[in-house]
Structure 1
Amino acid sequence: EELKTAILKIARKAGARSPEDLFRLPVDRVFTIKGMGTVVTGTIWSGSIELDDTVTILPVNRSVRVKGIQVHSEDKNRASAGSRVAMALSGISREEIERGSTALGTDDWFPSMMVDVFVTYLSRNTRPLESRTRIRFHLATQEVMGRVVLLEKKRLAEGDSGYAQIRLEKPVVTRRGDHFVVRSYSPVTTIGGGIILVPFAPKHLAADRRGLEFLETVRSGKTHEIIESVVREAGYRGYPGRRLPVDTGVGPGITGTTLEGLMRRGVILDYKGKLFHRAIAEEMRGKVLSGLETYHRENPLQRGVKREELRYRIQGVFSGDLLDGVLARLMEEGVVEVAEGEVKLASHRIVLRDSMGEMAETLLTLLSREPLSPPDLGKLSAAMGLGKGKVLELLSALQKIGRVVKVEESIWIVAEGMEMAGHRVEEYLRKNGKGSASELREFLNVSRKYAIPILEHLDRMGVTYRKGDYRYLKG
């Protein structure tokens, strides 16, 4: 009678389970029935299931169709949390499922070999629990061998509780808030139990203060605090928002509404479906601006840096979606500009100072002597007594500030000369309607070596277009 009273008291406190939660059925039996195929039985822990729904069986990761549902031997079209059910599954054999498998309604669950927990060591034990003790881990219908690694101390005294990581020998399916039982390896006796905090945990060498604060928030925090913490913990990699119901232990409706509120307040940002905490985005913003400042300082003659190189300069592992999102925000603010695949600070200008400025002026003088028939790269290099690489660097810088135009690999024309050529070609075509390459060459009074590159450049710029042997004004 005392046991019944205790069970009823707990049941009243538990409240109703939402049918809109994630469907989850730990399998306790599996068998075959002629005409029905593979059948699994168990108690639905959360959510609901309907006839012809698709479920995923973990850890084998097989998607199958539910072709039959029975509750207490009666055929049903639907069953909800708390129901004891038998489900006939299509497309999977008896040998692929075992006691301890889990049937799930979405793909948002992942089997894990490590879980972070809050564990209580029973007071009736006769000796402390040492870190790395081998144990038997029981959750739902799963029983797996593993080791308990204490995160705050080397041992747990009888009756004490603490944070730990359980490292398992086979993967298990868990959810934040799940209760588990710990039994000793030998002799097999119950020595404690606890609650799942992090269902898919990274390996911890030891928990630092920040790590313990995170676990404390996940254990005792409100839903919005837990969501903020798990997203913050994901760091630069980003967090897949669809996993929130598993990692928070709260249904999709509540997590969705709570997440929307956090995003409205700017606490959490969504970049291409991945969630990032604003603190992480601010850190990345600082890295981007610092990287651009360094690049401009080291490469004053370059307009900007390629995205790939910027990513390389920002050391560490991070999501490309985070970088793209931060760059987009900086562009909206007018702090950064992106053109032709190059990223630059909006304030950056190519300025040719001191000796570089003097060399640039010499180069412009050489190009301006015969603006439509300038010396090619080789002659410029010889005339200035500089290597071709240095001359190219100067020409590239002058091109980026609009002083010269590259019309062919080794031919560069001053901007004023190119503008003059455009006006003259436009004048000729307005008067004559069309012009051949030879006619336009004669009108420009240049050799074919320069005429063809100039005319092709005007085609690319949309001033003219070629049809057959003639060119016409565009538009």
Structure 2
Amino acid sequence: MPVIMGTAGHIDHGKTTLVKALTGVDCDRLAEEKKRGITIELGFASMELPGGQTLGVVDVPGHERFVKNMVAGAAGIDFVVLVIAADEGVMPQTREHLEICTLLGVTDGVVALTKVDAVDEEWLALVTEDVRAYLSSSFLAEAPLIPVSAHNGQGLDALRAELARLAGDHAPKRRSDLARLPIDRVFTMRGHGTVVTGTLISGTLHAGDEVTLYPSGKASKVRGLQVHGHTDDAARAGQRTAVNLMGLEVEDVERGEVLARPGTLFPSLAWNMEVTCLPSAHRGLRHRGEVHFHHGTREVMARLYFLDRDKLEPGQTALCQARFESPLAGVTGDRCVMRAFSPLRTVAGGTIISPLAGRVKRHGPELALLSALPAAGPEERVALHLKLRGREGASFAALMVLTGLESRELEKALQGFSGKGLASLWDKEARQWISGEVLDELSAGLLAHLAAFHKREPLKQGVARGELASTWGKGLHPKLMHFLAERLIKAGKIVQEQELMRLPEHSVSLGTDQADLRQRLLGVYEQGGLTPPNYKDVLELLGVGQKEAQPVYKLLQDQGLISRIKEDMYFAVSALEGLKKSVAAYFAEHKELGPQDFRELTNLTRKFSIPLLEYLDKEKVTMRVGDKRLARAL
């Protein structure tokens, strides 16, 4: 597995000089760096180790004004060489760089005590003792401390041997299925076009791959790759990588963007995080306080919303929602660094527990789910994220960044959940999943809605499926609404009759008066045949009001016994079916049907013949051509 080493330490303590002595590469490439004699931008080199392994090297600036560049470089390293000058000892950026490495999850390294040729043995012993005391509570407490001089070569062989040991012992855990390259440099190469560089922190990139820049969403294709300065067909996680991009100009790409495959990352304006305020911070972090937020190679402004407190004191850890001024694309488990405004200094770090965060109420019900995430195992993490996503659910691709799991591990967990009813795949094409618990809550809500509807409208057979989706199901994805309804129908909890949906136990129950009115109404229309009285005349004839009659009219229509073909004009369905048969018989002997032919066939006046001819057109029995009707081919 490729390994990346990073430098850290105060300005002018010899980081770049040491890298040049070890690799032969001068990482200060800018004219301003040469002129001022300080490192401003990140520098990159590589060195061959015994056994043939190549060690990538990231050289970072030590000046306090360029700490943001240091964070960008440290974001992808596996272990650190903390550089401390023997003639000065521990200095401010020594402390800040070490804290940044700690916050970014670096747990291994070596200490290079440089410029030993400039001090005597007594001073070196004092500095060594002081450095050991300072590092005693850090991850470098047991690390080797190697005195070196880049000028006369003292200690360089011992340092190389220690680097080889670290690289050999180090087995960084990197995902293999989610290619991510945080971009730290963008430039043009003559004859090639736009090139971006970075440390491939996970996955693999191949020449010819389709790629996307996040968060901008700009699409491109990998024209070519270089790994540690050599052309290659593929780059693997942990390698310093240069990518030649097709179809993009330099101004189309920003440092801090992430290069990944299409549809694999999801930029968001808010992340849920576990945040730790450094014990060395001068003061705590306030709720709604603003910070410089560093993730990968990107820096944005962010506000911190603590979910269970008003202030995070130095040394404390708490849940927090970070909200950004512009979107960031992260993955659960990523580490971030936060710096205060005044004084501009590193004050906190955090780990993403959900990179797709919705609004969370302080002290709200989500807090218990979020609190369980940091210590959750793989399967529990999947279950918790599905619950947090609620009725929206999550796609398989979104769950990959939400859970931080490899695709095979995630697939296994989801299939296990599906078999136990703990999760459901409601859209196979888009691979959309929803929590079984959330689905059960939706099911209960839908059944309760139908029960309330039946109680409110006892004379209605049921609710039209489309009406149900636009009322109770408003806001649900149409495919999820369909999945939910089909699931309940299959389980026998809902009955569907044509377009109407009802509970199995529901049947129209009429009171004595309503049952009598139903029979009388139906009798009027069946007796009226194709010349029924109009609506108002029927009400007057039966001595009932519109409010009393309307539910019974609707029931007769739902039962398929009467049909409304025009305002205030209803017909018995039996009469209409008889009309269709008469017209079909007419067309068996004639090619066309004119208005006069229809009146002669039915003995109807214009009042009824015109609406009924339009009804036949609508029912696709006839087709109007000019003033005549033709039989519609079935």
Q: Which of the five TM-score ranges fits, normalised by the shorter chain?
A: 0.7 to 0.9
Structure 1: distance between partners of 2:296 and 2:598 = 86
Tell me the SS of whatever aligns to 1:108: coil
Which one of the candidate residues 251, 262, 265 is aligned to 2:417?
A: 262
Quote the residue 1:64 is aligned against: 220
Conserved? CA contact 2:266–2:398, under 8 Å? no
CA offset digits 1:373-417 (Å, max 9, x no partner):
543434323312445676554333223334445576655455666
Q: Does 1:17 align with 2:123?
A: no
Quote the residue 1:331 is aligned against: 489
Distance 1:149 1:417, change over 3 A: closer
CA offset digits 1:413-437 (Å, max 9, x no partner):
55666677788x59x959x964797
CA offset digits 1:135-194 (Å, max 9, x no partner):
222222122232333323222333222222223333322110011222332323333322
CA offset digits 1:333-378 (Å, max 9, x no partner):
2332344543323433333323222222322343344556543434
Quote the residue 1:228 is aligned against: 383
Structure 1: distance between partners of 2:518 and 2:235 = 80
CA offset digits 1:240-273 (Å, max 9, x no partner):
2321111111222322222222122221112224
Alignment of 1:151-166 (within 5 A): 151-166=307-322
Distance 1:187 1:282, change over 3 A: same
Conserved? CA contact 2:274–2:351, under 8 Å? yes
CA offset digits 1:257-295 (Å, max 9, x no partner):
222221222211122243211121112112212222222
Q: Does 1:301 align with 2:407?
A: no
Quote the residue 1:106 is aligned against: 262
Alignment of 1:13-412 (within 5 A): 14-15=171-172, 17-19=174-176, 21-208=177-364, 210-272=365-427, 273=430, 274-311=432-469, 313-314=471-472, 317-369=475-527, 371=529, 373-386=531-544, 391=549, 393-404=551-562, 412=570
Conserved? CA contact 2:265–2:401, under 8 Å? yes
Tell me the SS of whatever aligns to 1:220: coil
2:409 maps to a residue whose letter is: I
TM-score by length of 2: 0.64
Residue ranges of structure 2 left out of the alignment (5+ in a row)? 1-80, 82-107, 111-141, 144-162
Distance 1:203 1:397, change over 3 A: closer
Worse overlay, 172-181 or 398-407: 398-407
Conserved? CA contact 1:404–1:414, under 8 Å? yes
Tell me the SS of whatever aligns to 2:358: coil
Structure 2: distance between partners of 1:399 and 1:248 = 53
Structure 2: distance between partners of 1:18 and 1:445 = 82
Tell me the SS of whatever aligns to 2:244: strand
Worse overlay, 343-352 or 112-121: 343-352
Structure 1: distance between partners of 2:580 and 2:509 = 27
Q: Does 1:3 align with 2:161?
A: no
Residue ranges of structure 1 left out of the alignment (5+ in a row)? none
**Larger-Rg structure:** 2
Worse overlay, 404-413 or 273-282: 404-413
Structure 2: distance between partners of 1:440 and 1:192 = 87
Cα shift at 1:95: 1.8
Q: CA RMSD in A?
A: 3.8
Cα shift at 1:129: 3.4
1:362 maps to a residue whose letter is: R
2:456 maps to a residue whose letter is: E
Distance 1:10 1:277, change over 3 A: farther
Tell me the SS of whatever aligns to 1:219: coil
Structure 2: distance between partners of 1:40 and 1:470 = 71
Cα shift at 1:310: 2.7
Distance 1:359 1:103, change over 3 A: same
Aligned residues: 469
Identity, % of aligned positions? 28
CA offset digits 1:93-121 (Å, max 9, x no partner):
11222321211123231223322211222
Worse overlay, 362-371 or 161-170: 362-371
Conserved? CA contact 2:180–2:259, under 8 Å? yes
Tell me the SS of whatever aligns to 1:148: strand
Distance 1:248 1:444, change over 3 A: same
Structure 2: distance between partners of 1:280 and 1:80 = 39
Cα shift at 1:73: 1.7
CA offset digits 1:429-453 (Å, max 9, x no partner):
59x9647979998898877877898
Conserved? CA contact 1:441–1:447, under 8 Å? yes
Conserved? CA contact 2:304–2:322, under 8 Å? yes
Distance 1:254 1:384, change over 3 A: same
1:400 maps to a residue whose letter is: D
Conserved? CA contact 1:434–1:470, under 8 Å? no
Structure 2: distance between partners of 1:460 and 1:203 = 50
2:370 maps to a residue whose letter is: L
Cα shift at 1:39: 0.9
